[in-house]
Amino acid sequence: MTDPHPRPIFARLTIVGLGLIGSSLARRARQDRLAAEIVAWDASEQVRARVAELGIVDRVADDAREAATGADCVVLCVPVGAMAQAASGLLPHMHAGAILTDVGSTKQSVIRELLPLLPDGVRLVPAHPLAGTEYSGPDSGFSTLFDGRWTLLTPLEDGDPAAAAQIASLWQGCGAMTQEMDAAHHDRVLAIVSHLPHLLAFTICGTADDLEGESRSEVLQFAASGFRDFTRIAASDPVMWRDVFLNNRDALLEMLARFTEDAQAMARAIRWGDDAFIVDRIERGRRIRQSLIDLNQA
């Protein structure tokens, strides 16, 4: 099959926010020549200086205006709570026909905030690469981060399919598999596969941190499998996660409510010695794990 988007896919790709995701995208786009020119912009002067030092892009812009001017595609790689502010500085300088896309972990909130800001002719393609590590910042990125991972696209109903196809092509160029999904549905699925697990991981760290003196230090000393895995999840970027929680509030609170009911049912089974219930719950965990292995997602 002929690739409908031969490389470079874009003449000028501007990446805004050079954290783990943005700097990984920059590295991969450059390595595989997904754009003829790759421009970086970050609100932090320190990050801009570091990106220039790392030499992972063709040019670091001096301001938002320079970053947006002449770009075929601008990718917002900032926390979801910072999307609107980042976009508002860029959009007035984008030309008609250019594409604005993002990598935010919540999609309804990003669409709700960006849509009113969109000038005529700029095409919005919301996207979300399901990839990450516990590290953040421009030094933490690497070009293979997206290999074999999904990127979900949540194009607008009246959006331009050609623009969505180009963004899909960009992520496929980064090694990702892509799939389109309704934004509300995306937010629900992500609430359970990502946002709730992070909430639980942050919470158990707090619960352990509140233990009385000796127990607290022993929790750290004897951190066993289980707690250790939770702390790895809990090491993620605070601002990013605060924004995710606040911007996917309804879906997350609903999933937490379901989870809490289920945890209480488990507590009741433990209190009253309901063997069958407990074993059934544990075996469901094993089956789901097996399904993931079968799907190559483990």
Q: Which of residues 190-219 bind a second copy (CB under 8 A)?
A: 190, 192-211, 214-215, 218-219
| Sign of the torsion angle spanned by Cα atoms 157, 163, 166, 167 | negative
Alpha helices in 69-154 (DSSP H): 83-90, 108-114
Considering the complex, state which of residue 3 and residue 262 has its C-beta at the smaller distance from a second copy. 262
Task: Give, as ranges, the residues between 73 and 132 that touch a second copy (CB under 8 A).
Answer: 130-132
267 binds a second copy (CB under 8 A): yes
User: Going by C-beta distance under 8 Å and a sequence separation of 6 or more, which residues neighbour residue 108?
Assistant: 183, 184, 186, 187, 248
Measured from the Cβ of residue 146, the count of other Cβ atoms closer than 10 Å reads: 23
147 binds a second copy (CB under 8 A): no
- Region of 6-14, 27-35, 50-58, 267-275 interacting with a second copy (CB under 8 A): 267-275
Considering the complex, state which of residue 36 and residue 235 has its C-beta at the smaller distance from a second copy. 235
| Sign of the torsion angle spanned by Cα atoms 143, 148, 149, 150 | positive
153 binds a second copy (CB under 8 A): no
2 binds a second copy (CB under 8 A): no
Q: Which two tokens stand for residue 237?
A: 């970027």
278 binds a second copy (CB under 8 A): yes
Considering the complex, state which of residue 66 and residue 254 has its C-beta at the smaller distance from a second copy. 254
Q: Tell the smallest beta-carbon distance from residue 128 to a second copy (Å).
A: 10
In single-letter form, the type of residue at position 152 comes to L
Q: Tell the smallest beta-carbon distance from residue 167 to a second copy (Å).
A: 18
Q: Rounded to an integer, what is the distance from CA 25 to the centroid of its chain?
A: 12
